[in-house]
Amino acid sequence: MLNHRLLNVPKKPKKFVKAAIEFLNRHAKNKKVFCALSGGIDSSAAYLLLKEAKINTIPVFIDHGLMRIIKGIEEREYIQKLFPDVRVVDIRKEFLPKIYGEGDAENKRKLFKAAYSEIISKIIREEKCDLLADGTILPDIEESFGVKISDLKETMSLEEEKDLMQKHIEGFVKSQHNVEIEYDVEATIQPVASLTKHEVRKILEYFNMPQELIYRKAFPGPALSARIVGPVTEENLIFEKKVHDFIESSVEKYYQERYGKLMIINKDDEQEPFQVFAAISEKVLNKKVTGLVGGKRIYDLPLCEKGDWDYKKLIEKASKLEGYARILYELGSNSEGKYDVLIRSINSKDARTATVTELPIDLLKALTQKLLSFTHTKNVYFDVTPKPPATIEYV
């Protein structure tokens, strides 16, 4: 299997789109292309480029039941509205029983990978697709290969890439699924491979996409299972969807009202907030969560801080944290309740490093009051740990 990536591109959207159309015609003209849409910005941009180049494409959205709800709208409904030609493949009935009860973070990731590859392979076979298009972007590539994108060629074989990964293993951070899984296609085609997240947003703007999509917050492949610490259950999934939507939508509303935009570029050139969400856990202070030491994921307990709110002091302490994975500032608690809610809001350029969004304490307190009114909420925390020493997600 080969991988075709569009490299050395002009960055201005109009010229980029022209180069992308030429690239797609070079490799995909008269071919049938499978394109998995996740609801995120990268795969949406890849699909819009395929449409613009008039490539015969099958857009597919896999609904496994752990996608987020935003402003009360399920991801599935959102994507159907955005791209009416998308084919929604509903695997909830088969997939959910497999993931329920699985508490190990890596096993959760494996279940997702297996489900994605199984369903994608099935459709590729049934539809006799020649190519698989995806929304891999520049940081994904550099973290997978440990090299600069300028060291890659437009077309490379899987074998060449595995060699390259081995040679640069010290720069390796995480694996991209298409480097590991070989699909039954001639090649993958990656039109946004040389773009950063911010540049992808510019392409969506060029295509006049709605603001909600342009500024859509990144969401991990293992979906809400990455935001439920420990085993996923039918009950905690319902609760997680509710608190996740409440936090993400409320903070977006705050940015819209304050800045007239759902996301800003701050003075450090970060997208603010890059990701904002609620994670849940039972008794989180007794649970090991992920941290980042020397570029590697570690698992350790979180440390709880209470008392006067002092953003700068807390961040400073969290930046130098040792012996714990992160600092959680306690915003409030109920005497009864089952789930701790962790509010996470980070600013970042590309998720490789992140700072904590300086949300006003009045906003955090108002969010806490509402969260405490939900059945099942026990404690509410704001995670004040940058990346490093924490990761963005909790698993």
What torsion, rounded to 10 degrees, do the Cα atoms 210, 213, 217, 222 define? 160
Nearer to ligand XMP, 59 or 135 (CB): 135
Residues 94-123 that bind ligand XMP (CB under 6 A): 109
Nearer to ligand XMP, 59 or 386 (CB): 386
Q: Does 67 bind ligand XMP (CB under 6 A)?
A: no
Nearer to ligand XMP, 130 or 245 (CB): 245
Q: Does 48 bind ligand XMP (CB under 6 A)?
A: no
Q: What is the DSSP string of 330-353?
A: EEEE-SS-SEEEEEEEEEESSSSS
CB of residue 306 vs ligand XMP: minimum separation in angstroms? 26
**Can you tell me the distance from the alpha carbon of 129 to that of 61, in angstroms, rounded to the nearest whole number?**
16
Nearer to ligand XMP, 56 or 353 (CB): 353
Q: Are 3 and 178 in contact (CB under 8 A)?
A: yes
Tokens of 330: 């306690």
Q: Does 221 bind ligand XMP (CB under 6 A)?
A: yes
Q: Are 321 and 327 in contact (CB under 8 A)?
A: yes
The only residue of 195, 351, 371, 380 in contact with ligand XMP, by rule CB under 6 A:
351
**Can you tell me the distance from the alpha carbon of 382 to that of 239, in angstroms, rounded to the nearest whole number?**
18
The only residue of 187, 226, 371, 384 in contact with ligand XMP, by rule CB under 6 A:
226
Question: Each residue of 121-143: b (16+ CB within 10 Å) or e?
Answer: bebbeeeebbbbbbbbbbbbbbb
Q: Which long-range contacts (CB under 8 A, 24 or more apart) does 174-181 make?
A: 174/143, 174/144, 175/144, 176/136, 176/140, 176/141, 176/143, 176/144, 177/113, 177/116, 177/117, 177/221, 178/3, 178/132, 178/134, 178/136, 179/144, 181/113, 181/117
Write the interaction track for ligand XMP spanning residues 297-336; mark x where CB under 6 A is met and - where it is not.
----------------------------------------
Q: Does 383 bind ligand XMP (CB under 6 A)?
A: no
Q: Does 222 bind ligand XMP (CB under 6 A)?
A: yes
Name the residue whose CB lies closest to ligand XMP: 221
Q: Does 134 bind ligand XMP (CB under 6 A)?
A: no
CB of residue 1 vs ligand XMP: minimum separation in angstroms? 20
Q: What is the DSSP string of 278-311?
A: EEEESSGGGS-EEEEETTEEEEE-EEEE-SS--H
The only residue of 59, 135, 191, 220 in contact with ligand XMP, by rule CB under 6 A:
220
The only residue of 9, 209, 278, 392 in contact with ligand XMP, by rule CB under 6 A:
392
Assign 3-state DSSP to the chain and report helix, strand, coil percentages, each to 5. Answer: 40, 25, 35
Closest CA to 223 of 373, 64, 349: 64
**Can you tell me the distance from the alpha carbon of 139 to that of 174, in angstroms, rounded to the nearest whole number?**
10
Q: Which residues pair with 56 in a beta bridge?
A: 32
Q: Does 225 bind ligand XMP (CB under 6 A)?
A: no
Nearer to ligand XMP, 16 or 112 (CB): 112
Q: Which residues pair with 63 in a beta bridge?
A: 90
Candidates 213-221, 230-238, 261-269, 325-333; binding stretch for ligand XMP (CB under 6 A): 213-221
What torsion, rounded to 10 degrees, do the Cα atoms 8, 10, 13, 14 define? -120
Q: Are 181 and 117 in contact (CB under 8 A)?
A: yes
CB of residue 257 vs ligand XMP: minimum separation in angstroms? 25
Contacts of 310 (CB under 8 A, 6+ apart): none
Size of interface with ligand XMP, in residues (CB under 6 A): 12
CB of residue 5 vs ligand XMP: minimum separation in angstroms? 18
Nearer to ligand XMP, 3 or 290 (CB): 290
**Residue 52: what residue type?**
E
Candidates 13-21, 52-60, 201-209, 387-395; binding stretch for ligand XMP (CB under 6 A): 387-395
CB of residue 220 vs ligand XMP: minimum separation in angstroms? 3
Nearer to ligand XMP, 110 or 153 (CB): 110
The only residue of 263, 278, 387, 389 in contact with ligand XMP, by rule CB under 6 A:
387
Nearer to ligand XMP, 96 or 298 (CB): 298
The only residue of 3, 190, 225, 391 in contact with ligand XMP, by rule CB under 6 A:
391
Give me the residues that bind ligand XMP (CB under 6 A), please.
Answer: 109, 218, 220-222, 226, 275, 351, 387, 391-393
